[in-house]
Structures are given as C-alpha cells and as structure tokens.
C-alpha cells in the first residue's frame, strides 16, 4: 500500500514539474513573445519571465534585433541593354511583433522576395553608368521602396546596399578604353591650357621688357647662364652690337676730343 502511494506521489510530482516547465518561458531583452490562447492573440509578452497555461496557450518568439539579409546575385539588364549580375544586402528589424506574426506567414522569406523583385525592377530602369557611379542614390531608392512594402508587416528596412556589380568581360574592356580616352582628352586639355597661360604670360613679359633694351640684354645673359649650367654644353657667345655701342661711342668721343685738342694747341705751337 505504501509503495503504491509513493508511486502515485512520484507520478504527480513528475506531472507537476512537466506542467511547470511547459508553463514557464524566459524571454531575453531583445525578444518578444506573441501569446495565443485557444487560437486568439491575447497579448505581447517580454522580456523576462512569461507564464503560460499548458495545452491552452502557445507563444511565438520574435527577435527585435537588426537582421542582415543577403540578397543573392540577380541577373539584370540595364536600361542601355547591358547584362549585369548585382548582389546586395539589406538590414531590417521587427518593430511590431504582433503584425510580423499575424500579417505574414514568414517575414524573413517575404522580405527576401520583395528585396529581390525590387532590386531587379529599380536597377533595370537605370543605365550602367548610373549603376556604377550613383550607388548612393540607388541604395536610397531601394530602401524606400522595400520599406514601404514591408511596413504593413511591422518590418522596418533601415538600409540597403548594392554590394557587387559583375560586368561582362567585353564590357569591362570597352569601359577601360573609354576611361583611357577620357584621361588622354583631359591631358590634352590641361596641356593646351598650360600653353595658353604660358603664352599669355610671355606676352605680358614682352610688353614689360620691350620699352627697355637693357632689360632685354639682361634677360639674354640670364638665358646664357641657364644654358651654361650643363658642363657638357658649348656656348658660342655672340656679342650684341647694342652691348658694345656704349664703348664704341666712348671711344669715338675720346678720338673727337683728341683731334679737337690738336687743332686748338697746334696754332700755339707754331706761335
């Protein structure tokens, strides 16, 4: 008799422990629980300890942390008929646990499908140059469109980033040739602009130097000095007539004075 009572008590204790374990849930700080009682939502629970009625209540856990959703590479034909493969990543989080459970069967799969279709739709309207150079604008457009479609599910899409753009090899070579031609064009424009500015400066310098012949001679001597900095160079130095003209005039002046002196003193000599 005593043994039977002990067995019954043991069974009752095990049953109570099982019921207690089934009725107690612990939710972390970033988790919320949507509790169903006989199929009807009664409340959102968490974080902390949650008590449930066994066999009557059922709880669905929902995480509030930001989820990183990798969008697989999508085959896209751009507006200018260039086939590309584009991969992206989206960041979203649940802001309404009840709607994320009630309004959509699997919000992760649904958000992924919306992101894929939106990626193909938006990037298919853009040209290749915009896809390569205007990613920030396209990222903002993708984020706004996806967020508008997932908002009824209690999902907030915070960021969408185009991660990789694969271009066919032939198109890569064409882009490289185009970039090289653009660099050559810019180089020629810069050289022409430099020559124009140099010519303008030379014209201004000529206007300053031309009224003064001595300045021209000094500039000529400076140019010879710059050339003579190379020891292997040989310079033939032609002396300008203008440089010798003061000496010639001085010599002529001395000769004229000497002749005038002779003319003046010779009569006295004869006297």
Task: Please report the pLDDT score of residue 11 as a whole number.
Answer: 77
Task: Please report the pLDDT score of residue 266 as a whole number.
Answer: 46
pLDDT in tens, 229-246: 666 666 665 655 565 566
Task: Please report the pLDDT score of residue 32 as a whole number.
Answer: 93
Helix (H) or strand (E) holding 220: helix 213-227
Render 126-172 in DSSP notation, one character per residue: S-HHHHHH-HHHHHHHHHHHHHHHHGGGTEEEEEEEEEEEE--HHHH
CA 42 to CA 45: how far, in whole Å? 10
Task: Please report the pLDDT score of residue 271 as a whole number.
Answer: 42
Task: Please report the pLDDT score of residue 4 as a whole number.
Answer: 74
Residue segments in the chain with a per-residue pLDDT below the cut of 70: 1-2, 16-17, 19-20, 209-210, 212-271
Using alpha carbons only, give the angle 38, 43, 46 rounded to the nearest 5 degrees: 120
**Percent of the chain with pLDDT strictly greater than 90:** 37
- Tell how far CA 256 is from the center of its chain: 84
Asked whether the beta carbons of 72 and 56 are under 8 A apart, the reply is no
Task: Please report the pLDDT score of residue 25 as a whole number.
Answer: 86
Task: Please report the pLDDT score of residue 151 as a whole number.
Answer: 94
Q: What are the domain boundaries of the chain?
A: 20-63, 67-167, 168-226
Q: Which residue has the tokens 């000094």?
A: 218
Indicate yes or no: pTM above 0.85.
Answer: no
Task: Please report the pLDDT score of residue 88 as a whole number.
Answer: 95
Task: Please report the pLDDT score of residue 270 as a whole number.
Answer: 45
In this structure, CATH architecture of domain 67-167: 2-Layer Sandwich (3.30)
């Amino acid at each position: 008799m005593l043994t039977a009572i002990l067995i019954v008590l043991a069974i009752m204790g095990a049953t109570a422990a099982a019921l207690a374990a089934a009725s107690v849930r612990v939710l972390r700080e970033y988790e919320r629980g949507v509790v169903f009682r006989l199929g009807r939502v009664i409340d959102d629970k968490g974080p902390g300890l949650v008590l449930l009625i066994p066999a009557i209540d059922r709880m669905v856990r929902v995480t509030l942390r930001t989820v990183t959703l990798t969008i697989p590479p999508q085959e896209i034909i751009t507006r200018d008929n260039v086939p590309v493969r584009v991969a992206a990543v989206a960041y979203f989080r649940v802001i309404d646990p009840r709607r994320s459970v009630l309004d959509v069967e699997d919000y992760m799969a649904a958000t992924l499908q919306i992101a894929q279709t939106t990626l193909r739709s938006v990037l298919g309207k853009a040209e290749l140059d915009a896809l390569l150079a205007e990613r920030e604008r396209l990222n903002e457009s993708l984020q706004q469109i996806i967020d508008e479609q997932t908002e009824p599910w209690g999902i907030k899409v915070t960021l969408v980033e185009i991660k990789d753009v694969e271009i066919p090899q032939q198109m890569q070579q064409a882009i490289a040739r185009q970039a090289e031609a653009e660099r050559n064009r810019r180089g020629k424009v810069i050289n022409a602009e430099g020559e124009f500015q140099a010519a303008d400066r030379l014209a201004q310098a000529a206007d300053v130097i031309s009224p003064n012949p001595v300045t021209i001679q000094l500039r000529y001597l400076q140019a010879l000095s710059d050339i003579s900095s190379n020891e292997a160079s040989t310079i033939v130095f032609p002396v300008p007539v203008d440089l010798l003209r003061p000496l010639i005039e001085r010599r002529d002046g001395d000769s004229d004075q000497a002749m005038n002196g002779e003319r003046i003193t010779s009569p006295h000599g004869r006297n």
